[in-house]
Structure formats: structure tokens, C-alpha cells
Amino acid sequence: MRNRCTAEMKKNTSLIYIAIIFLSLLVLNISIAATNVSANEQIDKYRSLYKNDYDKFWSLMWSKRNEAFKCKNTNSVIDFIEIDSLIKGNAEIAEFFAEQYEELFVNSPECLLKALLRANRGQREIVVNSLSLPIFTSPEKIRGIFEKYRDKNEYKEIIEIYQKNVSN
């Protein structure tokens, strides 16, 4: 009787673990789907704003930019970078972000680098790719700033992306 009871408990425990794993995967899938919808909504929002209310769009861009440049927290910088990662195929916007990344990197390199540590890899690459081919700042100045941080292990991945880009 005792063995049968123990076997039944093990079976029930296994079923509970399977149910927990299943529910966790379900929640994860719902979360991923919600994130994709949210990103698509954000893309549509910015594109629509650019197309339908140009002045409001640029007012929002400058507001996000100014908040990022305060460097009070990395989230505001990441939020600014995220807008760039959402909007593709627009030369005017690409030039705007290039100029802002260069200015922020020249004036507050540690602020940008710390934000890039917390940004996702795609966002990191967008910014570092832009800095690898600067439009408004001399490549030597950008290279010199990266050189100052070369020996800081925490920025190793960011600097490797930069070095890979400039060596190609």
C-alpha cells in the first residue's frame, strides 16, 4: 500500500512539473507575441506621425534626444536608440540619428557606452555601425574615443564591433 501511495505521489508530482513547464512556455509565447505586436504598433506610430504630422514627429524626436542627452539613466538613451531601430529606410531620420550618436559619443562617451551595455545586440550594432562611418565627426576623433575605452573589459564587445567595422 505504501509503495503504491509513493508511486502515485511521484506520478502526481511529475504531472504538476509538466503543467508548470507548459504554463511557463505558454506565458513566454504570449509575452513574445505581445512584444512583436507592440514593436509593430510603435513602427506604425512613428511612420504615421512622420507622414501625417511632420512637426509633431520632429518635436518628439528632439524631446527623446534631449532626454537621452541628459544621461540621467541608461533607459532614456536606450529608448532613443530604439526609435532608430524601429524606423528604417529614411535617409533624413538616419542622418539625424547619426549626428546625435556622434555628438553624444564625443561629449559623453561613457553615457552612450553604458547604455549600449544594456541595449540589445541589434541596437548596439546600429549605434556602433553609425559611429564606424561618421558623417559629422572625423573618424580619427571617434577612433580616439574608442581607444580610450579599449582596455575597459566591460566595453570589450562594443569595441570589437567597432574594430571589426573599421577594419573591413
Residue 100: how many CB atoms within 10 A of its CB?
23
Distance from C-alpha of 33 to C-alpha of 25, rounded to nearest angstrom: 12
Ranges of the chain with pLDDT below 70: 1-39
Predicted structure pTM score: 0.75
Please report, to the nearest 10 degrees, the dihedral formed by the alpha carbons of residues 150, 154, 156, 162 taken in order: -80
Distance from C-alpha of 54 to C-alpha of 118, rounded to nearest angstrom: 31
Which residues neighbour 43 within 8 Å (Cβ) at sequence distance 6 or greater? 86, 87
Q: Where are the domains of the chain?
A: 1-52, 54-168
pLDDT single digits (tens) 103-121: 999 999 999 999 999 999 9
